[in-house]
Chains A and B, each alone.
Chain A
Amino acid sequence: MALYSDKVMDHFLQPRNVGTIENADGVGEVGNAKCGDIMKMYLKIDDDIITDVKFETFGCASAIASSSMATELIKGQKVDDALKLTNAAVAEALDGLPPHKMHCSVLAEEAIQAALEDYKSKAATD
């Protein structure tokens, strides 16, 4: 039995939306190096639609795959719909994660939330 599902391996070996966005409309970073996982999300938002999303991750294979999958799930979505993204949805889209790796999907959800919050607070001050 393999440690990870084919989906996790696919997103780990060929992560989607890797990188940064210059002058991003929202940036969120969660986790810490002490625990071994850090995710950073960059969002480009036009007319309330997430037109682009990129990520950088320090962490294990499931953290990288969770980041990649989360970016795919929210790309093209409305901000309010993206805010509803749950860790369960990320894990399910990856055909499941080992129980001790579920926190990676939580981190992905939190990173998206943090980036969206950043966008909202920026929009409120504009």
Chain B
Amino acid sequence: MKIYADNAATTRMSDAAIQVMTDAMQNTYGNPSSLYTIGQHAKEKLEEARSSIAGIINAEPREIIFTSGGSEADNQAILTAALNGKKKGKTHIISTAFEHHAVLHTLEKLEKYGFTVTLLPVHENGIVSPSELEEAIREDTCLVTVMTANNEIGTIQPIAEIGAICRRHNVVFHTDAVQAVGHLPIDVKAQQIDMLSASAHKFHGPKGVGFLYVRKGIILHSLIEGGAQERGKRAGTENLPAILGMTAALQEAVANMDGNNARMQNVRDHLIQGLSEIPHSALNGDRVQRLAGNVNFSFEGIEGESILILLDQKGISASSGSACTSGSLDPSHVLLAIGRIHDVAHGSLRLSIGEDITIEEADYIIDSVREIVAYLRSFSPVWRDLTEGKKEFIL
């Protein structure tokens, strides 16, 4: 059995997106900036895509900027708010401890340039508290940036509440919605979002393309200087095939969202139930306020990378927050942020299931994980110490 359960990392492209892209590469190769017919035809397609995406999140077409993906959109949004704030003497930014590194590393860079950053706690359930956020707002706060849904533990943040608070205090609100767009309903007006980042390959679109929504009235700063593309805010010839592929994928994802979520949630809950029966394990992140496709567990006494490689041998692709998979000595900052200690954070497993997952596949995953956890524990000195009472169980 082959099961791809790492959809939070990337997704398989939708057939509709592939078809649209293939057609665009063959037939719509003109440069949208050219004035002759094939250039203008490309321009028309580009603007149709912009209108379609804007409509999906209840924005105006001119509020959508195409980018190379979520990371670029996050960088541009945060630097924009920081530069606009600095002009008014506002250099304080509020975010959370478990943002994506595209956000956290941009904030660290800004700290070197004199900005002050408050990272709010996300508590044991992985959800930021709107009241704590409101208390953290200062006179000189120029930006609040909180992700819509966490990429590792899938917890969904109270975005509309945060939007309302920010609007009331006249602070710009950006959300990294990379894990949410195409999976959760987004309405930038109702949720009072000022800036939003999205990435196509998280919703079955192509890699290397995304978009940034910026509410009109906010002066956007460009990261890439050059031509006048994207109203002069993002230079470089537009990647039209990718933009059209993204649009097709998003239309498809949104059209099927309710059905997909209901089906995935059912399988997700089945997985959570089955994996909970493994002794000394725990679900990471809130049980209810989480993405329909996200399951994240910690298993005490073992290390995550070993679990992944053994799962791969059984045809299951998944991910972990262990240090060995992060390329550093520390395990995932997300798991540490929800209070998991290092020992337990190393033994984590993220399954981000796809829309076509079946209960039978979930059962195969549960059986495989159960077998692998027991096997790795059978020769783990940590597990021995725990079972012999030399160390206390945490989970």
For A35, list chain B residues within 8 Å (CB): 323, 329, 342
Partner-binding segment picked from B10-18, B169-177, B189-197, B299-307? B299-307
Residue B228 interfacial (CB < 8 Å): no
Cβ of A53 to closest chain B Cβ, rounded Å: 14
B379's partner among A3, A57, A61, A100 (CB-CB below 8 A) is A57
**Judging by beta carbons under 8 Å apart, are A59 and B379 in contact?**
no
Chain B residues with CB under 8 A of A3: 309
CA distance A7 to B382 in the complex (A): 26
A4 surroundings in chain B (CB, below 8 A): 309
Q: Is the CB of A36 within 8 A of B381?
A: no
Q: Are B303 and A56 in contact, CB atoms less than 8 angstroms apart?
A: no
- Residues of chain B from 362 to 395 with CB closer than 8 A to chain A in the complex: 378-384
C-alpha spacing A63/B384, complex, angstroms: 17
In the bound complex, what is the Cα–Cα distance between A15 and B375 (angstroms)?
Answer: 12
Interface 0/1 of A46-86, CB less than 8 Å to B: 00000000011111110110000000000000000000000
Q: Is B259 interfacial (CB 8 A cutoff)?
A: no
Instruction: A35 to B323: give the CA distance in the assembly, Å.
Output: 7
Q: Is B234 an interface residue (CB 8 A)?
A: no
Residues 302 to 325 of chain B near chain A (Cβ within 8 Å): 302-306, 309-310, 313, 322-324
B381 lies within 8 A of A57 (CB) = yes
Interface residues on B, range: 20 to 34
B309 close to A40 (CB less than 8 A): no
Give the interface centre of B313, B327, B331, B381 by most chain A CB atoms within 10 Å. Answer: B381
Kindly list chain A residues whose C-beta atoms are within 8 Å of the C-beta of B301.
58
List the B side residues contacting A63 at CB < 8 Å.
303
A12 interface residue per 8 A CB criterion: yes
Q: Are A36 and B379 in contact (CB under 8 A)?
A: no
- Contact-residue bracket for chain A: 20 to 34
Which of A12, A18, A19, A37 is the one whose CB lies under 8 Å from B309? A12
A39 to chain B, nearest CB (A): 8
Closest residue on chain A to residue B346 by CB atoms: A36
Cα A3 to Cα B309 in complex, Å, equals 10
A33 at the binding interface (Cβ < 8 Å): yes
Distance in Å from the Cβ of A4 to the closest Cβ of chain B? 8
- Kindly list chain B residues whose C-beta atoms are within 8 Å of the C-beta of A9: 309
* Cβ contact within 8 Å between A36 and B324: yes
Determine whether the beta carbon of B302 is less than 8 Å from that of A58.
Answer: yes
Q: Given A35-B323, A35-B329, A36-B346, are A59 and B384 neighbors across the interface (CB < 8 Å)?
A: no
Chain B residues within 8 Å of A64, by CB:
306
Q: Which residues of B contact A38 (CB under 8 A)?
A: 380-382
How would residues 12 to 27 of chain A score, 1 for a CB under 8 Å from any chain B CB and 0 otherwise?
1101001110000000
B380 and A60 contact, CB distance less than 8 A: no
* Among candidates A12, A40, A60, residue contacting B381 with C-beta atoms closer than 8 Å: A40
**Which residues of B have CB within 8 Å of A19?**
379
Partner of A29, one of B346, B379, B381: B381
Q: Closest chain B residue to A34 by CB distance?
A: B342
Closest CB in chain A relative to B327 CB, distance in Å: 6
A40–B329 CA distance with the chains assembled, in angstroms: 20
In the docked arrangement, what's the CA distance between A13 and B378, Å? Answer: 14
| Cα A22 to Cα B322 with chains together (Å) | 32
Knowing A58-B381, A58-B382, the reply to whether A36 touches B303 (Cβ < 8 A) is yes
- B269 close to A (CB within 8 Å): no
Question: Which of B306, B379, B384 has a CB less than 8 Å from the CB of A60?
Answer: B306
Decide if A33 touches B346 in the complex (CB within 8 Å).
yes
Contact across chains for A61 and B329 when beta carbons are under 8 A apart: no
Q: Which residue of A lies closest to B305 (CB)?
A: A60
Chain B residues near A39: list those with CB within 8 A: 381
Q: When each residue 251-269 of chain B gets 1 if its CB lies under 8 Å from chain A and 0 otherwise, what string results?
A: 0000000000000000000
Q: 10 A-B Cβ contacts within 8 A? A: A18-B379, A33-B346, A33-B382, A35-B329, A35-B342, A56-B380, A56-B381, A57-B379, A59-B303, A60-B324
**Which 3 residue pairs are nearest across A and B when measured between Cβ atoms?**
A60-B305, A60-B324, A33-B343
